[in-house]
Amino acid sequence: MKILPLLLVMLFMACPGDNMSDSYSLPEPLKTDRPIEECLSKRRSVRFFSEDTLTPEQVSTLLWAAQGITDEKRGFRTAPSAGATYPLEVYLVAPHGIFQYNPQEHSLSLKKAGDYRPELEKACLGQPSVGKAYISIILTAVTGRTSSKYGERAMRYIWLEAGHSAQNVLLEATALGLGAVPVGAFNDDAVSKLLELDSFTSNSIPLYVIPVGVPLKK
């Protein structure tokens, strides 16, 4: 596994487009000193972003907040999951590619090179916040992981888990001094096509799009 350089430009440009299987380690997540009560109070939906970049450490921390491992021995994560089935998969849409997050290794795998933020904005019904944000974190689910255990009730649990994970990202963004907004209005087929989700054999579906960036100063 390759180690991602700490410079942001290399974080998203060092991935060779001709080898989509390469995996890149992320920096250790940051630890802020902001109380959870303050983050809950300050959290707001932010839809206007500056052109400032995010650091690799900030990106790392946001992804860890979404689905990071908190118990190496038992594999528990930052968000609760019904029966520890962990149906969620996390994707990162960044200026130089679409990546998939690997919680076990705390790493990224390049899926597609290039800036797909305009396409993601279009898939999200033209919402400008999606196109302007420096990154978007997308939560998807492999529904079979949970339905094999819980049957018809699985989708209820999956949606609940997506909400837990999304709130983690929103609160972490607040702790880092960033802005974010949860987006549920999008064309499912368009997002699935963009991420190349396997909707037939693994029943993968998109659940949430969360644009994140540096808030635009008023």
Residue 100: predicted pLDDT: 97
Categorize the per-residue pLDDT at 218 as very low, low, confident or very high, splitting at 50, 70 and 90: confident
Residue 201: predicted pLDDT: 63
Mean pLDDT of the chain: 91
The pTM is what?
0.90
Residue 16: predicted pLDDT: 40
Residue 213: predicted pLDDT: 98
Picking from 174, 177, 182, 178, the residue whose alpha carbon sits closest to that of residue 207 is 182
Using CA atoms in the order 32, 33, 35, 40, what is the torsion angle rounded to 10 degrees? -30
Q: How many helices (H) and strands (E) does the chain have?
A: 8, 10
Round to the nearest angstrom and report the end-to-end CA distance of the chain: 42
Contacts of 191 (CB under 8 A, 6+ apart): 120, 123, 124, 138, 197, 206, 209
* Whether the predicted pLDDT of 22 surpasses 90: no
For the chain, give the percent of residues with pLDDT over 90: 85
Quick one: average pLDDT of 152-176?
Answer: 98
Structure tokens at 27: 């920096």
Residue 122: predicted pLDDT: 98
Distance CA 12, CA 131 (A): 17
Q: Which helix (H) or strand (E) holds 100?
A: strand 97-102
Residue 10: predicted pLDDT: 42
Categorize the per-residue pLDDT at 14 as very low, low, confident or very high, splitting at 50, 70 and 90: very low
Quick one: average pLDDT of 41-69?
Answer: 98
- Amino acid present at 199: S
Structure tokens at 173: 């963004």
